[in-house]
Amino acid sequence: DVKVTQSSRYLVKRTGEKVFLECVQDMDHENMFWYRQDPGLGLRLIYFSYDVKMKEKGDIPEGYSVSREKKERFSLILESASTNQTSMYLCASSYRQGGNQPQHFGDGTRLSIL
């Protein structure tokens, strides 16, 4: 089974802090994704990566950056956390080829910025 592991289920940080959310997958997937989920808005794509050191902005990249130094690991960085970044963050991965390949998700990180 595919395993996507997010480093924390719950995280509480202060405004202005630099926050790192880590995601690791064990299926040698080329693609990795970071979403945030807010009530009534569904999942919105922040950033994705289709190869090591490659990244592309999603729909809501402002205030975030990402890093992918190894194929299995994709990090989301909140450069200076703000209260409007309080949300559920979901990491996902998938194979690059094959349009029928689903994205596999981690358990999510509930981040609170105080």
Partner 1 sequence: AQKITQTQPGMFVQEKEAVTLDCTYDTSDPSYGLFWYKQPSSGEMIFLIYQGSYDQQNATEGRYSLNFQKARKSANLVISASQLGDSAMYFCAMREAPLNYGGATNKLIFGTGTLLAVQP
Which residues sit at the interface with partner 1, rule CB under 8 A?
A: 9, 31, 33, 35, 40-45, 48, 50, 56, 58, 88, 90, 92, 94-108, 110
Q: Return the SS3 of 72.
A: coil
Query: Which is closer to partner 1, CB of 3 or CB of 18?
Result: 3
Closer of 5 and 67 to partner 1 (Cβ): 5
Is the Cβ of residue 15 or residue 51 nearer to partner 1 in the bound state?
51
Q: How far is the CB of 1 from partner 1 (least distance, A)?
A: 12
Closest distance between partner 1 and the C-beta of residue 55, in Å? 12
Buried/exposed code over 46-79 (b: 16+ C-beta within 10 A; e: otherwise) = bbbbeeeeebeebeeeeebebbbeebbebbbebe
Closest approach, Cβ 13 to partner 1, in A, equals 19
Surface-to-core class of residue 91, CB atoms within 10 Å of its CB (0-12 exposed, 13-18 middle, 19+ buried): buried
